[in-house]
Amino acid sequence: MKMLVVYEKMGPHRFIGHLDLQRAMQRALRRAGLPVRYSQGFNPHLLLSFAAPLSVGVQGAREVMELPLAREMEEQAFLDRLNAALPEGLKALAARALEEETPPAMARLQAARYTLKPEEGLEALGQALPGFLAQASIPFEKRGKAGVRQADLRPLIHDLQLHGGALHALLALSEQGSARPDQLLASLCEYAGIPRPRCLITRTALLDKRLLPLEQP
């Protein structure tokens, strides 16, 4: 069996880079004495995979990781033991026991929800929003391994609303294409003609193609 774990990465923990987070989670699993599995070979490593890395500075309210287990375990017992080894702000929120054959979370991932709380400029952004979304395409420069290339943000924005003092976005996040929330903010600010404000971004959900959370396969 394998265990899917939903966890948070809030507050100061948003500054931990992905590699550092991987290491921190592996060590927590080891401290907790959970029945983890290791790769073969001379330098075995603990088998653990993450649905999607989070950029440094962005909070995660319901992030997802998965690991194969060496023996069966109750979800609640797993959760309790793991949490005893995790610091505040990096707690596990749910554990789901899954069949080994369930496709990996990473492969099921299609989209993510974000909230963006800009420190200022909310009014201007609200006014710009309808026009921004009405554009047929929103070109931007995407930086990748292969250098800078032109890409279109519009088809990657599934939904974008402003209410309660925050922007709420549903963005594509899959191997076929992803939009970054900071890029969305940059493009929207550019369209609204305002400088980019400081903005706390939180990823609130990771969704599959049915737009259901990954922990409900």
Nearest 5°: phi and psi at 39?
Answer: -70, 160
Those residues whose C-beta lies under 8 Å from the C-beta of residue 171, and which sit 6 or more positions away, are: 111, 112, 113, 114, 156, 157, 158, 178, 179, 180, 181, 184
By CB under 8 A, name the one of 3, 5, 6, 28 that touches another protein.
28
The verdict on 198 binding another protein (CB under 8 A) reads: yes
Least distance in angstroms from the C-beta of 185 to another protein: 13
The verdict on 77 binding another protein (CB under 8 A) reads: no
Site string for another protein, 83-122 (x = CB under 8 A): --xxxxx---------------------------------
Measured from the CB atom, the residue of 70 and 212 that comes closer to another protein is 70
Least distance in angstroms from the C-beta of 137 to another protein: 30
The verdict on 44 binding another protein (CB under 8 A) reads: yes
Residue linked to tokens 């080894």: 85
By CB under 8 A, name the one of 1, 18, 53, 57 that touches another protein.
57
CA neighbor of 184 nearest in space, from 62, 64, 55: 55
**Distance between CA atoms of residues 206 and 62, nearest Å:** 7
The verdict on 18 binding another protein (CB under 8 A) reads: no
Measured from the CB atom, the residue of 35 and 104 that comes closer to another protein is 35
**Distance between CA atoms of residues 134 and 131, nearest Å:** 5
The verdict on 71 binding another protein (CB under 8 A) reads: no
Residue linked to tokens 């706390």: 200
Task: Look up residue 196 and give its DSSP letter.
Answer: P
Least distance in angstroms from the C-beta of 117 to another protein: 13
**85, 5 Cβ separation under 8 angstroms:** no
What residue ranges bind another protein (CB under 8 A)? 12-13, 15-17, 19-20, 23-24, 26-31, 38, 42-46, 56-57, 85-89, 198
